[in-house]
Structure 1
Amino acid sequence: MDELTHLLFEGDERDNVHGRWRDLVGGEAFAYRPGLTPRERAELSYQRLRLVNSAVPSAEALTYDARGLAALHEWTGFVDGGLCTLASIHYNLFLGSLLDHDGYRRDLAPYAAMRCTGVFLCTELEHGNDVANLQTVARFDRETGEFVLHTPTTGAQKFMPNTSLTGGPKSAVVAARLLVDDEDQGIFLFLTPLSDDNGHLPGVRVRRLPERTGTPVDHCLTSFDHVRLPREAMLEAAHGRLDENGRLTSTLGNRRKRFLRSVGRVTVGKLCMSAGTLGMARAALTIAVRYAHHRHIGGPKAGQRIPLTDHRSHHGRLLRSLSTAYAMTFLQRAVVDRWTDHDETDREQHEEIERLIAIAKGWITWQARDITIECRERCGAQGLFPHNNLADLQLNVEGGITAEGDNLVIWVKAASEMVFGHESGPEQPVRPAERELTDVGFLRDLLASAERIWQSRAREALRGGPAGDPIGRWNATSGAALEMVSAHARLQAADALLAAAGRARNARARFLLENVSRLFLLEQLRQYTGDLLAAALMTPQQVVALHIAADGVVADLAPHLMTLVDAFDLPEEFLSRVPIAGPDYVDHYRPRSGTDAVAEPAPRFTAEPVGPLIPEAALPPVPASTSGLAALVGSTLESAIDPAPLPEPTPA
C-alpha cells in the first residue's frame, strides 16, 4: 500500500505537494456542518478559503506553482466543492492574471492576505463558449486617461460567481472589449474593485442568481454602469500595451490571439478542474469500498451474514471504477509534469500540451461523474444523505465539467486539430493471432488501433463532405473525430498507468498495478471490438473471450480491494466523520437516550451578510512552517465547528 501511495502522489514530492492539503482537510474546520442555509454554507467556504491561505507561506508562490495548485484542488474538492471553486478563481484566475501581466507594479498585499477576495469575470449571459464575442466594453477616455467600463445590454451581464457581499470585499479582473476612438482593439482584462466593507461600489450592479445544484456558491449577474477605472487598471503585457497616445502595440497579429493570451490562465484552470473532480472520485470510491466491507446481508445459508464485497456484481463494478480512477490519477500526473516542464517559447509544443490538457480535463471529469454516480448507487439510500459525503459529489463534478470550457466544446476544438495534425496508431502492426488478451502490450496496441480507425473515418468524412458548406462538412466529420479524441484520451491514460506499473519497485505493488492496467484496458476495448474485428485486428475468439478475461482479472483483484483504496491516503480524521466509512456506522443512528423522540430544530433564516461561522479569534496566524497546522486548526476550532448537543427528551 505504501508503494502504491508513493506512486500515486508523486513519490518524493508527496509531503511537499500533497501533505499540506491532506493535513488541512483532516481538521475539524472541514467537517460536515448540518443544518446550514445555502448562504451560510457559502460563507463557510470563504472562511475555509482563509484557512487555506494561512497554510501557504506565499499566495503568489502558490499561484505560480501549477503542481501545488492542482494538489490543492485534489484535496479540497471532496470536502467543500464551493471552496474548490473559490480557490480556483482567487489564486489561479485572479491572482494568476495579475501576476502574468507586467504592465504595472500593483500592491497585491490585500489579495495575498485575503483582506479582499479576487473574482474573475469573463462569461456573459449571452456569451459563454463564444466569449470572444463578449459585449462588455472599456472605452479609453483620452481627456482623463481613464477607462470607462460599461455593460451595454442585458445579455452582456457577467454570468459568473462570486461577486455578492458574502465573504467580504471583492475585486475582479473583468474581460472587456477595449475601445479607442470607437475602434475595437480586442478583449483585455481590467482590474476593477467591486465592493468594500460598506457594500458594492458606485456603478457596480450585482444581482444574486437563484440557488444552483451542488455546494452553494454565490453566483450572480454583475454589470457596470459607466464605472471609471484608472489607467493602470488595464492588464498589459507583450501581447498588448497602450502607449501614452492611446496607440496599441502588440507582438500578436490579431485580436483573437490577443484575447487567448489575456485569458491564458484557463489552461491551468483546466488542470485544477481535473484535479478537483479526481479527488472527488477517489473519495467516493474509498467510502463505497469501505461501506461494502462493513455492510452485511443475508448469505446462502440460514442465519448466515456476508459482506457486500462477496458478490461479484458489487465488487466488480467498484473494481472497474477503481481501475479508471488509477488511470485518471496517473494521467493527471503525466499531464501536469508535461505542463510544468515544457518550453513555453516553443509554440508548437505549447499548443500540443494545451490540447492534451483540454483532452485530459474532458475525460477525467466525465469519468469522475460516472464514478461518483456508481459509488452513490452502491451505497443505496445511505449515499443520498449529505453527511455520508457522497450526495453532493456528482453535482459538484458537474461544475468541473462546465468550468474552464465545456468539455464537448474543448474536445471539438481538439478534434478539429487532430484530424490531420496528429498521427495515431500503434508503433508496430498488430498481429492478433500471435498475441493473448493477458498481454497488456497487445491490449494497448489494440486501443491505439481503435484511435487510428476513427481518425481514418474522420479524415474520409472531411474529404467527402459537402463543398462550400463548412458547417455541413464539419457536421459530417465531428462524430468520428470526437470518437478519435475519446480513444486518444483513454490511450494516454493507459500509457500513464502502464508507466507507473513499470516504476513500481515492490513486487506486490507491481502485480496490483499490472492487473489494474489490464482491467482498465480490457474495459476500454469493449466498445471497439466490432471495429477491431472488422479490421482483422482481433479474432472472433478474442472478442468472445474479452469478458472472460476481464472477469478473471476482477477475481484476482477482489481480495485487494481495500488495499487499492487505502492507497488513496484519505485522512483517517476525514473518514472517521463519514458514518458509512466505519465498521460502527449503525452506532451513528443509535437513540441518544433510548428514544428517537428528539425535537426538530426550528427553521432558520439568516440575512446577508452571514456572521462568522469560524470565530475570527480562532483563526491561526500565517505560520512560518505549515507543520502541525491541521492539529492547530482541529484543536482551536473544535468548539466552533461541533453543533450544540441536542437536549435530552423529557420523560413521559
Structure 2
Amino acid sequence: MGFDADELATLVDGRWAHVRDRVREELAGIDLPPGDHLDTEDHRALTLEQLHQLAKSGIPALGFPPAYGGSGDTGGSVVSLEMLPGNLSLMVKAGVQWGLFGGAVVALGTERHHERYLRDIMNLELPGCFAMTETGHGSDVQHLRTTATYDPESQEFVVHTPHEAARKEYIGNAARDGRMAVVFAQLITRGESHGVHALVVPIRDESGNTLPGVTITDCGRKAGLNGVDNGRITFDHVRVPREALLNRYGDVAPDGTYSSPIASKGKRFFTMLGTLIRGRVSVAGTAGSATKLALEIALRYGDARRQFGRPGTDEEVVVLDYLVHQRKLLPALAKTFALHFAQEQLVSSLHDVPPGDERAQRELESRAAGLKAVATWHATSTIQTCREACGGAGYLAENQLAQLKADTDVFTTFEGDNTVLLQLVAKGLLTGYKDQFDDLGTLGMAKFLADQFVGSVIEKTATRSLVQRIIDGSGKDDVLDRGWQLTMFDDRERHVLDGLGRRLRKANRDNAFEVFNQAQDHVLRAARVHVDRQVLEAFVAAVERCRDRETAQLLGKLCDLYVLSTIEEDRGWFLEHERITPRRSKAITEAVNELCRQIRPHAVDLVAAFRMPRQWLTAPIATGAEAARQEAQRAHDRAHG
C-alpha cells in the first residue's frame, strides 16, 4: 500500500499549518541548540539568550491582542510552542514568559495593564513570573495562603507571606531573570476576604537586584529543564499600588469597596482560573511533540539496526521487522496520531470559545484537563519505551532520549497534577456542567450524583445489537468495524459512569468524604475512558477528512490499531463485563499483530509526516539511520533502472 505523504502532512498540520510553516522557516534561520551539557548557570544564560532570539522572530506575539502589536491568534500561539520539543527548557521558559505571565496579564488585566505592560512582555523587556503554586498548596489554588490586604489610607495593597507554607514555590523565571510576578493571593479589604485574585508585583529592579521585602531563593538543579530558573518567593509586607490588581473580575475602589461582575465567590474563582488554561493546553501539545520526536528517533534506528540472522542465511534481520519491536513502537505511534488530532480539536476549541459562554468554557476546561493528563502520561510511557527500544544507544546523551525523559517527566505534575485533573474531568461529567454545582462540597456532589444516576441503566439499543452480533461472531475482521469500535468505547464510558453514580449514592452527611474517597479509583477510570472516547472520535473525524483514498486507508489502519491496542490493554474490564468473549479477545490480539505487520513498512514515513523542525533531530542513531536508508533507496533505484 502506498500513500500520499504530502496529503498526510497537510492533514497533520491542520488548521494552523501556516503557523507551523512559519515556525519551521524561522527556526531554519535560528540556531537554538539545547544546553543540557552545560552547568546550571551557563544553561540558564543560554536559554535566556535564545528566548531573546525567539522574541525577535515575532512568533511570541501571535497570541497577544492586535492593539498592542500582537496577532490575536490564541490557537496559533499554542501551536507555535508545540514546535519546540528539541529544546524543552526554551519551550518552558517561553511558556512562562508569554503564556503564563503574559497570558495572565491579558486575561485577568484590563486596558490599563495591557497598555502599560504588554509590549514590554512581548519583546522581553519585562521578563516575568507566574506566582501561583505555594509550598503548602499546589493543586488547591482556592486555599492559597498569600494575602493581599488593601490599605485605604495609602491606596495600596500589602502583599504578604504569613508563614512558610505560603511561600511561592517552583516559580519559573524567579531564581534569575524575572523582574515582575503575577502573584495570586487572598484579597482582603475592609476585613473581608474575597478569594484568590492576581496582582502584578515587581520583584527585581532593572539591574536585577531583589526589591525590598522580597526574598528569592533558588530551587537548584532539577532532574531536567535546567535552563529554566525555578525559584521560591516570599513577601514581607510588600506594598504595591491599587492599580496593581488585575481587575477584570474583581476591583477595589480607593475607599476599599470591593466590586465584581460575578457575585458568587466560587463562580468568580473558577471563571478566573478558566481563563488561564492556555498553559495546560500547551503542555499537552508539547508533550505530544516530544513523544513524536522520541518515536522518530526510535523508529529510524529500528529501521536500520540489525540483530540476529535469518536461519539458513547470512542476512541479519532489521529489528523493526520483529513483531515484538513493532509491538513496542507502533501502538504508541497510533496513539500519538490519535492524541495529535484530539489536541488539534482542543486548540480549536480554545481559540473559538465565545466570551461569556459558560457551558462552552466548562467543556473546554474539562477537555484540556483530560487531554493534558492522558498526553503527558503517554509521553512518559512512550519515551521510556523508545529508550528501551534503542538499547544502550538510547541511553547515550547524544541520542536525545535520556534528556527527553528527564525534561518531560515533570509534565505529569505541572500545570495541574494529572490525578487531580482527572477528578476535575469526572466532576464535570457527573454534574452535566451544572453551574450551581461549583459551590457544592463533597456531600452536595454525592447527593447530586444520586439524583443523576438513580435507576439509570444502559439501554438495549440498535448499537448494542451490533455489539452482540460481533461478540457472537468469529472473524477477526469484525473488530475492524468502526461502528463496533465507537460503540465499545461509548458503552464502556456509560457503564463506568453508571457504576460510579451507584457507588456515590451511598453518601450521606456523615460519610460523604469516606464514600467519595473510597470511589476515587472509579472516578479516575471514568475520566480516563471518557478521554479515550473523545480521542477516538477526533481520530475518526481526521480519517474522514482525508481526501486521498490510500492515505485514508493507512490512517484508518492506524486508527484501528489505536482502538484495538486500547481494548487489549483494558481487556480485563471488557471480559469481566462480558463485552467481549475470550475468543474475541484472542481475535483482537491477532488483529493488533496483523495491523503492526501492515503498518510496519510505512512506520518511518508516518512519523516523518509530523515534520518536526530538522534542527531538533540530532541523535546520530536517527540521522545516521536516515542517511543509510536514503543510500539503500538510491541503490535500489539504480538496480531497477
| Residues 1:401 and 2:412 aligned together | yes
CA displacement, residues 112-166 of structure 1 (integer Å, 9 cap, x when unaligned): 2212212110111111111211111112111111112111111111002234463
Question: How many percent of aligned residue pairs carry the same amino acid?
Answer: 26
Of residues 385, 388, 399, the one that matches 1:388 is 399
Of residues 534, 540, 546, the one that matches 1:504 is 546
Of residues 94, 103, 107, the one that matches 2:116 is 107
One-letter amino acid of the counterpart of residue 185, structure 2: A
Q: Which residue of structure 2 aligns with residue 561 of structure 1? A: 603
| Residues 1:47 and 2:49 aligned together | yes
CA change 1:2–1:79 in 2 (3 A) is same
Of residues 245, 251, 265, the one that matches 1:234 is 245
| Residues 1:94 and 2:101 aligned together | yes
CA displacement, residues 398-442 of structure 1 (integer Å, 9 cap, x when unaligned): 222212211110111221332353899998324335331121221
The answer for unaligned runs of 5 or more in structure 1 is 588-652
Please report how far the alpha carbon of residue 17 of structure 1 lies from its aligned counterpart in structure 2 after TM superposition: 1.8
Q: What is the distance in 2 between the residues matched to 1:182 and 1:318? A: 59
Q: Which residue of structure 2 aligns with residue 3 of structure 1? A: 7
5 Å-filtered alignment, 1:239-318, equals: 239-301=249-311, 303-318=314-329
Q: Which residue of structure 2 aligns with residue 432 of structure 1? A: 467
Please report how far the alpha carbon of residue 561 of structure 1 lies from its aligned counterpart in structure 2 after TM superposition: 0.9
Of residues 79, 89, 96, the one that matches 2:86 is 79
One-letter amino acid of the counterpart of residue 420, structure 2: V
Please report how far the alpha carbon of residue 34 of structure 1 lies from its aligned counterpart in structure 2 after TM superposition: 6.3
Q: Which residue of structure 1 aligns with residue 184 of structure 2? A: 175
Of residues 379, 382, 386, the one that matches 1:375 is 386
CA change 1:319–1:332 in 2 (3 A) is same
Q: Which residue of structure 2 aligns with residue 320 of structure 1? A: 331
SS in 1 for 2:139: coil
Q: What is the distance in 2 between the residues matched to 1:64 and 1:385? A: 42
Please report how far the alpha carbon of residue 459 of structure 1 lies from its aligned counterpart in structure 2 after TM superposition: 1.1
Please report how far the alpha carbon of residue 465 of structure 1 lies from its aligned counterpart in structure 2 after TM superposition: 4.2
One-letter amino acid of the counterpart of residue 434, structure 1: R
| Residues 1:583 and 2:587 aligned together | no
CA change 1:531–1:71 in 2 (3 A) is same
Q: What is the distance in 2 between the residues matched to 1:224 and 1:34? A: 32
Point out the more displaced range, 526-535 or 408-417: 526-535
Q: What is the distance in 2 between the residues matched to 1:264 and 1:493? A: 22
Q: What is the distance in 1 between the residues matched to 2:310 and 2:55? A: 54
CA displacement, residues 345-389 of structure 1 (integer Å, 9 cap, x when unaligned): 221222122111111111111111111111111111222223212
One-letter amino acid of the counterpart of residue 44, structure 2: A
One-letter amino acid of the counterpart of residue 198, structure 2: L
Q: What is the distance in 1 between the residues matched to 2:279 and 2:304? A: 38
Point out the more displaced range, 410-419 or 365-374: 410-419
Please report how far the alpha carbon of residue 173 of structure 1 lies from its aligned counterpart in structure 2 after TM superposition: 0.7
CA change 1:158–1:165 in 2 (3 A) is closer
CA displacement, residues 26-66 of structure 1 (integer Å, 9 cap, x when unaligned): 45622244641022112222222222211217362468433
Q: Which residue of structure 1 aligns with residue 73 of structure 2? A: 65
Q: Which residue of structure 2 aligns with residue 622 of structure 1? A: none
CA displacement, residues 437-473 of structure 1 (integer Å, 9 cap, x when unaligned): 1212212211211111211210111113465211112
Q: Which residue of structure 1 aligns with residue 535 of structure 2? A: 493
The answer for unaligned runs of 5 or more in structure 2 is 434-452, 471-477, 629-641
Normalised to the residue count of structure 2, the TM-score between the two structures is: 0.86
Please report how far the alpha carbon of residue 490 of structure 1 lies from its aligned counterpart in structure 2 after TM superposition: 0.9
Instruction: Please say if residues 467 and 487 of structure 2, whose CA atoms lie closer than 8 Å, have aligned partners that are also in contact.
Output: no
Instruction: Please say if residues 135 and 168 of structure 2, whose CA atoms lie closer than 8 Å, have aligned partners that are also in contact.
Output: yes
SS in 2 for 1:107: helix
Q: Which residue of structure 1 aligns with residue 216 of structure 2? A: 206
Point out the more displaced range, 417-426 or 138-147: 417-426
CA displacement, residues 66-98 of structure 1 (integer Å, 9 cap, x when unaligned): 31222122111x222221211111112211221
Please report how far the alpha carbon of residue 503 of structure 1 lies from its aligned counterpart in structure 2 after TM superposition: 0.9
Q: What is the distance in 2 between the residues matched to 1:189 and 1:87? A: 21
Q: What is the distance in 1 between the residues matched to 2:277 and 2:174? A: 26
Q: What is the distance in 1 between the residues matched to 2:233 and 2:50? A: 24
Normalised to the residue count of structure 1, the TM-score between the two structures is: 0.84
Please report how far the alpha carbon of residue 534 of structure 1 lies from its aligned counterpart in structure 2 after TM superposition: 4.8
Q: Which residue of structure 1 aligns with residue 518 of structure 2? A: 476
One-letter amino acid of the counterpart of residue 5, structure 1: A
CA displacement, residues 280-302 of structure 1 (integer Å, 9 cap, x when unaligned): 00000011111112222231256
